[in-house]
């Protein structure tokens, strides 16, 4: 056990209000990808614990659904206040546990604060429609009611923000939450839960009533997630992770007629057109491809460059790539931190080998020794020129690998952009209005996110987040994603003294 990692984590967790017993003496080893050190020994839940937790969550839901939505919003407001107060410590823990650079750790906590603000406003705007009835003396309307227990399964790369997108909306919508975080990031989950518990205490201290077990955390391995997925009392399973995971979760939830919100892999491309502002494009591509060490679902994995600017763009990207500082993500100036673990590093190397076999020319990609840590996995970002969109390019490898392709016509570029199984995020850099609009049109990008003159990653919370095809089809976060967390009731009210039937049907007795 490494004392340095342990004591940093211990200090942060204590600051964030996590009792020591929660991260010592357990069987689930928490580890920092920065140096491979053990940062905690967390108690792992069992499937039986899931069953009990879902039972408690359901009881909490039955009470919470009757709390007026703006009151529910007040709890989320207080949670946002806790996050504001503890932003620095939680961000440092995100950096320690997920390995993202400090500014991105802070950005992740800011994303949680943003969704809380959004949800608070939403708590007074859970609107239904009033609909014109075809019958005299009748009124139709729809109401949105709380749904039930929401199960959240989240990934290591956004260990707390993705939970917050789901939980903040679920809570204002009148639902309860049970969370199974990635087994790679149990400490950030414990800290987030502690901040939520503090907000709940503040809520009650101000005279509000809230049930116990409104939001529960279950750290553990895959069987914990499976038990959550299979429990018929979980009305909505919101799962973020690999397409492989989604393929397992989706049918199991569907088999019991539960609802699923899937946010799975991406294979996001940026088209760089002849008129593009290359300064902007280079910056957008670099952040998108190599930020977070390529471990975002929105990471830019492909650049499709017009033949007329391809070589210049390639040269500029290569210069910038080679100068990116890889290292301890807490060090100022470092832009690329570690891969999460050895498995991720090996997957990166396997993808680069395949790319070479498929005709690619690879720059970068080698292991970078940082601090002499045997179990820390840093890699030089890789830029790979590909002759075509081969099998490896169509696959999502969760690592800093950017494939560079070339195109002659915009139709060809859009066909390449859409020619992969995933459909999360996409972008075009162009100053040609016709090209920009064609890219955004029905026959343009087939992704859930399509941008012009900004990259594929780093979406704001105000928009709906998610994508098509193997990305799973779910939408989280902003816009009307809240509707996933509620059930719609259509109501027809007759205030006349007659009983006319719709469609002119007669049934005279």
Q: Which positions are annotated as active-site residues?
A: 263
Q: Given the rule CB under 6 A, which residues bind ligand UN1?
A: 111, 157-158, 162, 240, 296-298, 457-459
Please state, in angstroms and rounded to a whole number, the distance separating the CA atoms of residues 285 and 131.
Answer: 46
Residue nearest ligand UN1 (C-beta atom) = 459
Cβ atoms of 397 and 419 within 8 Å: the answer is no
Residues 6 or more apart from 60 whose CB is under 8 A from it?
A: 176, 211, 212, 213, 214
- Name the E strands within 167-249: 176-180, 215-217, 234-240
| Comparison of 165 and 439: residue with beta carbon closer to ligand UN1 | 165
Q: Which of 72, 33, 317, 343 is nearest to 214 (CA)?
A: 72
Asked if residue 262 lies in contact with residue 472, where contact means CB atoms within 8 angstroms, the answer is: yes
Give the residue with the Cβ less far from ligand UN1, 214 or 459: 459
Residue 440 Cα distances to 276, 419, 426, 443, 494, angstroms: 16, 16, 10, 8, 45
CA–CA separation, 293 vs 82, rounded Å? 29
Looking at the DSSP bridge assignments, the partners of residue 336 are 326
Nearer to ligand UN1, 104 or 213 (CB): 104
Nearer to ligand UN1, 301 or 306 (CB): 301
Closest approach, Cβ 398 to ligand UN1, in A, equals: 10
Q: Are strands 149-153 and 176-180 parallel, antiparallel or unpaired?
A: parallel
Q: How far apart are CA 260 and CA 220, in angstroms?
A: 21
Shortest reach from residue 38's CB to ligand UN1, in Å: 26
For the bound state, the minimum distance from the C-beta of residue 461 to ligand UN1, rounded and expressed in Å, comes to: 7
The smaller minimum CB distance to ligand UN1, of residues 36 and 329, is found at 329
What is the distance between the alpha carbons of residues 323 and 319, in angstroms, rounded to a whole number?
Answer: 6
158 three-class SS: coil
**What's the closest the beta carbon of residue 484 comes to ligand UN1, in angstroms?**
17
Complex with ligand UN1: residue 299 or 406, whichever CB lies closer: 299
**What length does the chain have?**
509
Tell me how far, at minimum, the Cβ of 373 lies from ligand UN1, in Å: 25
Q: Which is nearer to ligand UN1, 24 or 453 (CB)?
A: 453
- DSSP 3-state of 178: strand
Going by C-alpha positions, the residue among 296, 307, 300, 376 that lies closest to residue 340 is 376
What's the closest the beta carbon of residue 424 comes to ligand UN1, in angstroms? 9
Q: Which is nearer to ligand UN1, 293 or 297 (CB)?
A: 297
Q: How many other CB atoms are found less than 10 A from the CB of residue 212?
A: 10
Reference 330, options 6, 17, 111, 93; nearest CA is 93
**Least separation, in Å, of the C-beta of 264 and ligand UN1?**
10
> Closest Cα partner for 430 from 283, 279, 296, 277?
277
Q: How far is the CB of 459 from ligand UN1 (least distance, A)?
A: 3
d(CA 81, CA 118): 13
Could you tell me where the DSSP H helices lie in 86-185? 87-98, 102-122, 161-172
């Amino acid at each position: 056990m490494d004392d340095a990692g342990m004591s940093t984590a211990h200090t942060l967790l204590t600051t964030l209000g996590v009792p020591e017993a929660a991260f010592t003496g357990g069987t689930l080893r928490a580890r920092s990808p920065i140096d491979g050190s053990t940062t905690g020994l967390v108690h792992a839940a069992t499937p039986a614990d899931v069953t009990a937790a879902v039972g408690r969550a359901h009881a909490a839901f039955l009470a919470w659904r009757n709390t007026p939505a703006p009151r529910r919003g007040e709890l989320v407001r207080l949670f946002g206040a806790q996050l504001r107060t503890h932003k620095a410590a939680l961000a440092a823990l995100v950096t320690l546990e997920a390995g993202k650079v400090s500014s991105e750790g802070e950005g992740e906590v800011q994303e949680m604060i943003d969704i809380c603000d959004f949800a608070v406003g939403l708590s007074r705007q859970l609107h239904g429609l009033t609909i014109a009835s075809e019958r005299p003396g009748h009124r139709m309307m729809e109401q949105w009611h709380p749904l039930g227990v929401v199960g959240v399964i989240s990934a290591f790369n956004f260990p707390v923000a993705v939970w917050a997108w789901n939980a903040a909306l679920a809570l204002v919508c009148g639902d309860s939450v049970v969370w199974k975080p990635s087994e790679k990031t149990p400490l950030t989950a414990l800290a987030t839960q502690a901040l939520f518990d503090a907000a709940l205490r503040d809520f009650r201290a101000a005279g509000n009533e809230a049930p116990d077990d409104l939001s529960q955390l279950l750290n553990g391995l895959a069987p914990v997630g499976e038990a959550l997925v299979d429990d018929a009392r979980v009305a909505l399973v919101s799962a973020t992770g690999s397409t492989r995971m989604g393929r397992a979760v989706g049918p199991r939830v569907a088999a019991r007629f539960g609802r699923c919100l899937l946010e799975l892999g991406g294979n996001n491309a940026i088209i760089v057109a002849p008129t593009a502002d290359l300064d902007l494009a280079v910056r957008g591509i670099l952040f998108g491809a190599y930020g977070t060490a390529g471990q975002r679902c929105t990471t830019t994995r492909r650049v499709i460059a017009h033949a007329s600017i391809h070589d210049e763009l390639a040269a500029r990207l290569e210069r910038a790539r080679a100068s990116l500082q890889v290292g301890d993500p807490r060090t100022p100036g470092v832009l690329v931190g570690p891969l999460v673990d050895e498995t991720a590093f090996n997957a990166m190397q396997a993808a680069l080998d395949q790319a070479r076999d498929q005709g690619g020319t690879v720059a970068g990609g080698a292991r970078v020794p940082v601090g002499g840590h045997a179990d820390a996995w840093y890699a030089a970002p890789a830029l790979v020129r590909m002759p075509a969109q081969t099998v490896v390019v169509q696959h999502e490898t969760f690592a800093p690998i950017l494939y560079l392709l070339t195109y002659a016509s915009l139709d060809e570029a859009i066909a390449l952009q859409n020619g992969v199984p995933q459909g999360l995020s996409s972008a075009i850099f162009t100053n040609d209005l016709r090209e920009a609009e064609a890219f955004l049109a029905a026959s343009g990008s087939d992704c859930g996110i399509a941008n012009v003159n900004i990259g594929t990653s780093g979406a704001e919370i105000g928009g709906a987040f998610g994508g098509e095809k193997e990305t799973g089809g779910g939408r989280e976060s902003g816009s009307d994603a809240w509707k996933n967390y509620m059930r719609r009731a259509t109501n027809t009210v007759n205030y006349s003294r007659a009983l006319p039937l719709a469609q002119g049907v007669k049934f005279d007795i």
